[in-house]
Amino acid sequence: MTSISLLKGSKKLLNAWAFYDWANSVYSLVIASAIFPIFYGALFRAAGIEKITIFGGEIARAPLISYTTSLAFVCIAIITPLISGVADYLGNKRIFMKFFCYLGGLSCIGLYWFSLENIYIGLLCFFMGLVGFWVSFAINNSYLPDIAHAEQMDRISAKGFSMGYLGSVILLLFNLAMVMKPAFFGIETDESGIAELKAMKYSFVTVGIWWIIFSQYTFYYLPKGHKREGERKNVILNGFKELKGVWKKLGGEIKLKRYLIAFFVYSMAVQTVMLIATYFGEEEIGWGSDSERTTGLIVSILVIQVVAIVGATLTARASKKFGNIKTLIAVNILWVVICVYAFFMITPVDFYIGAGCVGLVMGGIQALSRSTYSKFMPETTDTASFFSFYDVAEKIGIVIGTFLYGLMAQITGSMRTSIIFLGVFFLAGVVLLLRVHKKPRT
């Protein structure tokens, strides 16, 4: 498919960029947050086990998925700068974005065959889905300074997240209908499995198809990328050299450097909460029957998505009135309160209230973090390297966060202590954000 060239800041180009959130956010909702965590827990309950033997040792289901997630983000943190280096020299980051988009979409379809008997294949598809989603998302983020002017960044960043929430809710509602009324869709219990579990598998397929099809609109309008001039040496490793170069440039960008440190700390907690929230609700909340658990968890995720649309918009307006950093400080304080509240959650009603609070701050902190970084960046055409640095910082944070979360859950046997542990990172984020505008000592 060919593409057309649009001027920076044009409405059509901005909308095409934001539309990728519509395409790929179904992964973060249906796979990462809603259906897959429920499906994963149901597999273990159906088999009557809590632990599984893998790679010669026994491990509980919660630490297993947490460690797999952590390992995936190690891979993502390595791949992102590699892609950045190659994309900068060849000027074709759109091709790489397509590759990882299709890798993620096909991996979602592959989750249809996830089972305890095929645990290695299933975990591989889960692993590759994470890689495809986050690397393509990182490349899309790097386009923001290329396609938008500074005064447009907050608005279009928030619009992207809002479109993502809306699109993912639409597909989740369809998937929810399949799971709750499988017979209506011709899905029945047979020797291959329970009807509800089969419906969940079909939902994974719908995510892959949705993601691949709707991304075509974005690919049609996004520019190919900036081709770096000059001699091309060590193209593969150049991404890591560029990260080092970005770090050196940060020496003269005190405000940006301080912001990145704060972002690294609080993003570690944000992304971990988003990745494990449904696993927490599935295991720690007293839902009653399995059907009540499935319905309750999906309704909770829907609440998060709907409220997040409002949250992203309100946060963008607050940043315009009070400034980005002050708004981020307020949002981090709200996250601390939510973590403390989560420790005491017992009933479904408690979880619903917590879900609404998470939704209010989730979309806002993501959209505002992305646009704040774009605003603090120095003038440069090397946007891929700067956003690669941003994304590597985020991914290393997720590696640490998910690993520590899994370790705490394994040691204590409960996810509640891990949630409080994450609250400490939000508190540290507040302290570090307070330093962003502080004048350096002379």
Q: What are phi and psi of 51, to 5 degrees?
A: -125, 155
Query: Which residues of the chain fall short of a pLDDT of 70?
Result: 1-5, 9, 84-85, 87-91, 190-193, 225-240, 242, 251-252, 380-385, 439-442
Residue 323 in any domain: the answer is yes
Q: Is residue 405 a part of any domain in this protein?
A: yes
Say what the pLDDT of residue 110 is.
Answer: 95
Q: Which of 334, 324, 415 is nearest to 372 (CA)?
A: 324
- The answer to whether position 236 is within a domain reads yes
Q: Is residue 42 part of a domain?
A: yes
Please identify which residue in the block is written with the tokens 């993501």: 366
Three-state secondary structure of 259-305 = HHHHHHHHHHHHHHHHHHHHHHHHHHCCCCCHHHHHHHHHHHHHHHH
Distance, in Å, from the CA atom of 41 to the CA atom of 71, rounded to the nearest integer, reads: 20
Q: What is the pTM of this model?
A: 0.75
Nearest Cα to 278, choosing from 368, 195, 342? 342
Q: Which of 127, 142, 178, 171 is nearest to 23 (CA)?
A: 171
pLDDT at 442: 44
CATH of the domain at 378: 1.20.1250.20
Structural domain includes residue 2: no
**pLDDT for residue 338:** 92
What is the percent of the chain where pLDDT is above 90? 20
Report yes or no on 358 lying in a domain. Answer: yes
Is 442 inside any structural domain?
no
Asked if the structure places residue 314 within a domain, the reply is yes
Q: How confident is the model at residue 105, as a pLDDT?
A: 96
| β 57-60/51-54 pair status | antiparallel
* Res 369: pLDDT: 85
Domain with 181, as residue range(s), is 11-434
Please give the tally of structural domains in the chain.
1
Contact 243, 81 (CB under 8 A): yes
Bridge partners of 54?
Answer: 57
Phi-psi category of 230—alpha, beta or left, where left has phi over 0 and alpha has psi -120 to 50?
A: left
Residues 75 and 422 sit within 8 Å (Cβ to Cβ): no
